[in-house]
Amino acid sequence: MNTEPTRYSQALNALRFFAAMWIVFAHFGIRPLGALGLPAAFLDLLQTRSIATSFFFLLSGFLLTQSLYGKRVRIRSFLTRRITKLYPVHALCFLAMVPTAFIGLDRIRGEDVAVHSLLWLTMVHGFFPKVQLLYNSPAWAVTSFALGYGAILWTRRWTRWSTAALLAAMGLFWIIDLAPNLWLVTHFRQSFQYSFPGDPAVHVAPELDQATSFIHAFPPLRILEVMFGSVLALLANRVQPADKPHWWAGDSFLAASGLATAIFLSVMGSSFTTRFLAGHALFLPLLAVLVLGVWFNRGNLERLLSNPLLQLGGSSSMLIYFGHWPACWGIIWFAQKFGGLSARQTMESPMVFLIMLAGSILPALLLQRPYDKFCGDIARRLGAYWIPASMVTPLPAESSAARRSTSESASAARLTGEIV
């Protein structure tokens, strides 16, 4: 009987789709859903979209480390696959948004486009606060993801660290990630007295808005979340090692993740300060428990989320995340230009929002497999020319069980080509 734990989770793959949809709804669905009369508590929940972003970063570190666990990794091959998967959709979506500098849909001067293009196309724009949220706003994450891949190659080597040392590292990552947000709520205490930040009657200090955006998109903080997930993967292999799986792991962690979700939902009814911190690093440990609960569970939850459409949606989550911004703004421009709608009518129309959802999701689902093939072809062409193949990072003390190749690990290898 093969006792090696799977390196693939259909449930986690499906959850990536839900996280991507959360971000789409948070960016463009607040006003249309508010116009339909949905309760403010639900709209508050959508506002905490940073939790979905943190989930993406944590899950990226977790699954990539799981897929590489116990293997020798060629740096050239790994980085080539990752960057060629990330860069084409980033570059295309940026170029699709460049015209917004000239047609009045974005706060960009046409004469600045050349400098901005250099920063964006070299993927360093995440370090520049005045540029990181322009054009394709969600793509501030590209800088963090690209650097996070290098961080994973470092943290995955910590297999000889004690469990206490790994837990301490995760705690340190969490505290550093949380600290700037704690500073925000203390330094701008007056601005955090409101119950719903989206209320147009609320006047938030411009300095708070700028500081929040900078901290939200600052690459070193997001890289810590990738490393947090990577170390979590190392700990997961100690809870359920390859040669001694524990039957209780799945049920125990799934129950804990249910409790974590209940805590999160209860916090949504509390003060704006608590909700803000919950959406900005405070609940990172609860996300870790959720990931472990889903990862170890191989029962009903896995079967429930194994629907082929959900699996395709999970694999397409990167295209949805980066592509929904240009798709939605294109639909907004078309509705205003040819539909005779005002800016307010467009942003509050449920029908326009439904068209935005279709325009964000359907192309991503249809293009996912061709895009994977395209990126794979590029990676194979670049593989022989980028970074010497002799640069190899072996894991110390690899066990024979960890070196075994199974069909499930092959599935995980395919999955790593789809994870951001």
pLDDT of residue 315: 92
C-alpha closest to that of 138 among 326, 378, 333: 326
Residue 291 backbone dihedrals phi, psi, to 5 degrees: -60, -45
Average pLDDT of the chain? 80
Confidence of residue 104 (pLDDT cuts 50, 70, 90): low
Percent pLDDT > 70 in the chain is 76
Confidence of residue 270 (pLDDT cuts 50, 70, 90): low
pLDDT at 405 over 50: no
pLDDT of residue 328: 94
pLDDT at 164 over 90: yes
Query: How large is the average pLDDT for residues 119-123?
Result: 94
Query: How large is the average pLDDT for residues 154-177?
Result: 94
User: What is the per-residue pLDDT across 145-160, written as a single tens digit (0 to 9) for each?
Assistant: 999 999 999 999 999 9
Query: How large is the average pLDDT for residues 388-414?
Result: 43
Q: Which of 36-50, 79-93, 175-189 has the lowest mean pLDDT?
A: 36-50
Query: How large is the average pLDDT for residues 54-83?
Result: 88
Query: How large is the average pLDDT for residues 349-362?
Result: 95
pLDDT at 242 over 80: no
Percent pLDDT > 90 in the chain is 41
Q: Are 359 and 330 in contact (CB under 8 A)?
A: yes
pLDDT of residue 394: 44
Residues 6 or more apart whose CB falls under 8 angstroms from that of 378 comprise: 84, 88
Q: Which residues on neighbouring strands pair with residue 73, listed in sequence order? A: 393
Question: How far is residue 287's CA from residue 232's CA, in Å, rounded to a whole number?
Answer: 11
pLDDT of residue 106: 56
pLDDT at 55 over 60: yes
Q: Which of 9-23, 39-53, 209-223 has the lowest mean pLDDT?
A: 39-53
C-alpha closest to that of 49 among 226, 276, 257: 276
Residues 6 or more apart whose CB falls under 8 angstroms from that of 384 comprise: none
User: What is the per-residue pLDDT across 273-284, written as a single tens digit (0 to 9) for each?
Assistant: 777 787 788 889
pLDDT of residue 139: 94
Greater model confidence, 390 or 386: 386
pLDDT of residue 214: 84
Query: How large is the average pLDDT for residues 349-374?
Result: 95
- Report the C-alpha dihedral over residues 9, 12, 18, 22, rounded to 10 degrees: -160
> Exposed, middle or buried, 167 (CB in 10 Å: 0-12/13-18/19+)?
middle
Confidence of residue 86 (pLDDT cuts 50, 70, 90): very high
pTM value?
0.84
Greater model confidence, 233 or 70: 233
Greater model confidence, 173 or 99: 173
pLDDT at 196 over 50: no
